[in-house]
């Protein structure tokens, strides 16, 4: 009797949706959407996904709720200040629609999100405020083969773009000018370590966040229903509220861009063991006919650091992602002089054969990519 009542309630909840001839509520219930970033856009996106009855949502954000978020983030309350954004948003999402399953990751999308995790979704909605984070999600999306919807907002203008790895069109990286690349690279030292530059605060307001997020969710909705009426892959729509204007543009495909040309010839599955060495992985590949496998890392890893002062020679085993390491790590903790370091960008039978999986700092469910004599492969762990 009770389940009968719940079924009726669910039916009734979505009864207005059922009046739309192309609507498929079951499709939405089974959909898996990854929301990258839970700021102003992410809040609005999750609110809409919950109202629509999207069944499975993953939220990723490293940040906590602060008082300045409360002018634009519909899901946050004063009592949430200090809480992880993903957790506060999860609680409110469930309040809006208890049928939702919301998985949260409090972390950095470049370092804490494995490609295998990304691949378990149907679509990614990017609610990010930096070029660097968008670049990272673009890489993840193209390696995972999952389309993503990018949103960006100013005070009275915003844009939405759509990138589908299965199409021949431009990707987000194609849209970056050399000046934007330069700005992105200023965040890293010449060694590739993180510079301590404060994030620039961008002015924005709730109305534009609300409109752009709604457009992103509409694009997701259209995509999940296999409709092609809003944005095609490699297109963006720009919207201005003052003066009112809107136009659609095709993003130019860049020949030099390596991200969208990503392809894999074979998929190899190996059991995950943290002590598995680079050499053992390469030998496995050789047995499968890949004679000279070279596996590239998405995130370079610093293995050891050594003081350059011959009287000190302080040596430290680090095993930490290069781009997460602060520039200050170059200073020897013992004598204050400069240190040198060893970084792993790829491995093979002859290059770093002794390093094991755990020291490669891979996010959970990561997929590794490599090539051997012109043939590309992916290594999935189980």
- Residue numbers of the site for Zn ion (CB under 5 A)? 171, 173-174, 257, 259-260, 307, 309, 312, 314, 332, 334-335
User: Least distance to Zn ion from the beta carbon of 327, Å?
Assistant: 17
Nearer to Zn ion, 173 or 366 (CB): 173
Q: Structure tokens of 254?
A: 């860049």
**DSSP line for 299-312:** EEEEEEEEES-TTT
Nearer to Zn ion, 122 or 316 (CB): 316
Nearer to Zn ion, 97 or 254 (CB): 254
Torsion region of 75: left, alpha or beta (phi above 0 gives left; psi -120 to 50 gives alpha): alpha
Nearer to Zn ion, 79 or 311 (CB): 311
Task: With H, G, I as helix, E, B as strand and everything else as coil, classify residue 367.
Answer: strand
Nearest Cα to 44, choosing from 131, 119, 125?
Answer: 125
Please, are residues 125 and 79 in contact by the beta-carbon 8 Å criterion? no
User: Least distance to Zn ion from the beta carbon of 173, Å?
Assistant: 4
User: Least distance to Zn ion from the beta carbon of 371, Å?
Assistant: 19
User: Least distance to Zn ion from the beta carbon of 170, Å?
Assistant: 6
Nearer to Zn ion, 148 or 290 (CB): 148
Nearer to Zn ion, 85 or 260 (CB): 260
| Those residues with Cβ within 8 angstroms of residue 12's Cβ, 6 or more apart along the chain or in another chain | none
d(CA 111, CA 123): 20
| Those residues with Cβ within 8 angstroms of residue 200's Cβ, 6 or more apart along the chain or in another chain | none
User: Least distance to Zn ion from the beta carbon of 331, Å?
Assistant: 9
User: Least distance to Zn ion from the beta carbon of 237, Å?
Assistant: 19
- Kindly state the DSSP code that residue 54 receives in the 8-state scheme: -
Nearer to Zn ion, 46 or 160 (CB): 160
Backbone φ and ψ for 5, nearest 5 degrees, come out as -65, -45
d(CA 158, CA 156): 7
User: Least distance to Zn ion from the beta carbon of 296, Å?
Assistant: 18
Torsion region of 254: left, alpha or beta (phi above 0 gives left; psi -120 to 50 gives alpha): beta
């Amino acid at each position: 009797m009770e389940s009968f009542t719940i079924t009726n309630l669910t039916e009734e909840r979505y009864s207005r949706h059922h009046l739309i001839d192309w609507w498929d509520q079951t499709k939405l219930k089974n959909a898996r959407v990854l929301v990258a970033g839970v700021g102003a856009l992410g809040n609005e996106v999750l609110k809409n996904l919950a109202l629509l009855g999207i069944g499975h949502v993953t939220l990723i954000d490293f940040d906590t709720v602060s008082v300045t978020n409360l002018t634009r983030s519909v899901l946050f309350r004063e009592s949430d200040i200090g809480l992880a954004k993903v957790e506060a948003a999860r609680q409110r999402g469930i309040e809006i629609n208890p049928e939702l399953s919301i998985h949260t990751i409090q972390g950095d999308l470049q370092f804490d999100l494995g490609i295998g995790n990304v691949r378990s979704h149907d679509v990614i909605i990017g609610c990010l405020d930096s070029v660097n984070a968008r670049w990272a999600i673009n890489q993840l999306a193209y390696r995972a083969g999952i389309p993503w919807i990018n949103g960006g907002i100013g005070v009275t203008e915003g844009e939405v773009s759509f990138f589908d790895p299965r199409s021949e069109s431009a990707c987000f990286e194609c849209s970056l000018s050399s000046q934007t690349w330069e700005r992105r690279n200023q965040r890293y030292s010449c060694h590739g370590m993180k510079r301590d530059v404060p994030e620039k605060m961008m002015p924005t307001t709730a109305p534009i966040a609300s409109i752009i997020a709604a457009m992103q969710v509409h694009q997701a909705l259209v995509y999940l229903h296999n409709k092609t009426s809003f944005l095609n892959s490699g297109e963006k729509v720009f919207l201005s509220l003052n003066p009112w204007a809107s136009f659609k543009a095709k993003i130019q495909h860049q020949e030099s861009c390596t991200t969208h040309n990503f392809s894999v010839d074979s998929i190899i599955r190996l059991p995950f063991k943290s002590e598995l060495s680079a050499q053992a992985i390469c030998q496995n590949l050789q047995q499968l006919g890949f004679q000279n496998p070279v596996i590239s890392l998405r995130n370079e890893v610093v293995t050891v650091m050594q003081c350059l002062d011959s009287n000190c020679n302080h040596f430290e085993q680090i095993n930490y992602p290069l781009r997460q390491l602060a520039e200050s790590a170059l200073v020897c903790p013992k004598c204050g002089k400069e240190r040198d370091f060893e970084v792993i960008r790829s491995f093979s039978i002859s290059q770093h054969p002794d390093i094991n999986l755990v020291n490669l700092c891979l996010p959970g469910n990561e997929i590794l990519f490599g090539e051997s004599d012109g043939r590309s492969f992916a290594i999935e762990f189980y």
